[in-house]
Structure 1
Amino acid sequence: MKVIIGADKDGAKAKDELVLELKEEGYEILDLSKEGQDFVDVAVAVAKQTLKETNNGEDKSETAPRGIVIDKWGTDAFMAANKLKHVICANVSDEHSARMTRRHNGALMITLGTAVVGSELLKSCAKAYLEAPFDGGRHMVRIDMVNKMA
């Protein structure tokens, strides 16, 4: 699976650690981080690339690319990403929420904040999200409702 990832200056160290671990586990990584980039720019870049590679979020298969953005709090990048049509992004700080946002919401991407979660929990949340399948079925009704709002 391809992971499209990005971080601002506050998330760069955690992002680099996560990238190393994900590569060891066989994930393909596309790092869109750029020096001096603001969290809004990072979130939008990751969201746009993930949309592009998933046919506007329609590909929810287990092998479909997914996005991860890391900054200081996670909430700002989360809000920026969700401004784009077809993006379903969740700000997570625990493994259960990371897993369930993929299973029930088909989340295209997640955001994580380094001031909220420590290094090990951040990695664990990312892995829970990446390993979770999309359950589909009755959950598509809500996803379609949200997409119609944009």
Structure 2
Amino acid sequence: MPETKRIVLSSDHAAIGLRQAIATHISEKGWEVEDIGPKTPESTHYPQHGEAAARRVASGDCSLGIILCGTGQGIMMAANKVRGIRCGVCHDTFSARMIRQHNDANMLAMGARVVGEGLALDIVDAFLEATFEGGRHATRVEMITAIEG
């Protein structure tokens, strides 16, 4: 688990309710939550929300991030454009655990139109409870990082 338990959450308009449920859930687990997503349902642009959250993680202001849009795909793509971010879309607990254990992911993306609240909270728990295994995986993460230039 990261040293600081500060996490950033963001989403576009499609995932406000799920994002707020996640914020409550992880806050109850002792995480300091920085929720920077929209509060009203007017249409917003997921790339802006993905980038904003990713910049907080990349700067070290937050140790991890969770971002959401309709599918999780677009917001994940935007976040991964920020140097130092390793974000994966997960719609199952196994993948969420593996992106932390094997890929040292620092951000999780999900689709609010893909998963329900109960499963989303289980996915979040799997992501937050997993730790990077290092070893042979560290070499691979270094290879991913080298691609950034």
Quick one: distance in 2 between partners of 1:130 and 1:108? 10
Among 73, 76, 98, the alignment partner of 1:75 is: 73
| Unpaired runs of at least 5, structure 1 | 55-63
Give me the CA root mean square deviation: 1.4
Quick one: distance in 1 between partners of 2:138 and 2:109? 22
> Normalising by structure 2, what TM-score?
0.89
Segments of 4+ moved more than 6 angstroms: none
Alignment partner of 1:10: what SS?
A: helix
Among 11, 20, 28, the alignment partner of 1:7 is: 11
Among 12, 25, 28, the alignment partner of 2:29 is: 25
Quick one: distance in 1 between partners of 2:134 and 2:53? 23
Counterpart amino acid of residue 48 in structure 1: R
Among 98, 116, 135, the alignment partner of 2:114 is: 116
Count of matched residue pairs: 141
Alignment partner of 2:59: what SS?
A: helix
Shift, 1:37, TM fit: 3.6
Quick one: distance in 2 between partners of 1:147 and 1:37? 30
Counterpart amino acid of residue 123 in structure 1: L
Counterpart amino acid of residue 7 in structure 2: V
Among 60, 75, 94, the alignment partner of 1:53 is: 60
**1:45-86 deviations in whole A, cap 9, x for unaligned?**
1111001117xxxxxxxxx71100011100111111111222
Counterpart amino acid of residue 53 in structure 1: G
Alignment partner of 2:71: what SS?
A: coil
Shift, 1:108, TM fit: 1.0
**1:72-112 deviations in whole A, cap 9, x for unaligned?**
10011111111122211100000010011001000010100
State the percentage of identical aligned residues: 30
